Amino acid sequence: MNLQPVLENELVLLRPLKPEDFEGLYAVAKDPKIWELHQNPDRWELPVFTTFFKDAISSKGAFAILDKSTKTIIGSSRYRIPEDNADAVEIGWTFLSREYWGGTYNASFKSLMITHAFHYFDYILFHVDQHNFRSQKAVKKLGGELIAKDGPLQHLHTRVATGLTFVLEKTQLA
């Protein structure tokens, strides 16, 4: 599977995240309100975001999300293939500018990612903190079903056992 295809619809363009996107993406990420329910609520701070951005680039699965009408970066998301499950791909590390919350943008770009992923995998996994009710609600709106309360979210620098796993099955959309 190509983890960084160019995907687009009438609202958004998803393209591979590039090092030169740092300033544009940090302009979105430096809003502390975006991270207040996140497991790493300090991600808005420049040193913490810099590490996150470097990890995103090295993942080779990260996207810049652009508003097609303004051609500006409004957020980021990422694919990751879990080491222990050849039938699944993860979608996560997602954040959007608050200007785009509560509307159709999250569903719009996630539907692009989901459609692409289901060409190759039977399951899509979403890992969400149990305190992040906004992300849980968004995943449920996409059709995600809670399958595990599995402790720490291993991709974060915290190891607090608050992780939830949601799954979306290809057969749900058939």
CB atoms within 10 A of CB 30: 14
| Residue 14 pLDDT > 80 | yes
Total domains, the chain: 1
In a domain, 132, yes or no: no
Where helices occur in 36-164 by DSSP H, the ranges are 46-59, 105-117, 133-141
In a domain, 135, yes or no: no
In a domain, 94, yes or no: yes
Domain extent at residue 93: 7-124
In a domain, 103, yes or no: yes
Read off the pLDDT of residues 41-65 as tens digits, 9 standing for 90 and up.
999 999 999 999 999 999 999 999 9
Where helices occur in 61-156 by DSSP H, the ranges are 105-117, 133-141
| Residue 161 pLDDT > 80 | no
Query: Pairing between strand 72-80 and 62-67?
Result: antiparallel
User: Do the Cβ atoms of 12 and 67 come closer than 8 Å?
Assistant: yes
- pTM of the full structure: 0.90
User: Do the Cβ atoms of 124 and 167 come closer than 8 Å?
Assistant: yes
Q: What phi-psi label fits residue 71: left (phi over 0), alpha (psi between -120 and 50 degrees) or beta?
A: left
| Residue 153 pLDDT > 70 | no
